[in-house]
Amino acid sequence: KLVMTTTSLRNVVLANASDVLYYEVVTPVWERHLTRISRLDVKTQGFDTVAEL
């Protein structure tokens, strides 16, 4: 089960309860033409870019 959390349509988080699956989808205001999808690496607590649209 994934849960979607959003503060706006430009910042969306998809995650499961334990955060083993944690994706962040961000479209910055200053780069409206670019949306980045990043996955959280639970071991390093850093984000890896999965895609740029």
The domain limits of the chain are 3-52
User: With 90 as the cut, is the pLDDT of residue 9 above it?
Assistant: no
> What SS3 string covers the chain?
CCEEEEEECCEEEEECCCCCCEEEEECCHHHCCCCEEEEEECCCCEEEEEEEC
Report residue 50's pLDDT band, with 50, 70 and 90 as the boundaries.
very high
Q: What is the pLDDT of residue 38?
A: 95
- The structure's pTM equals 0.75
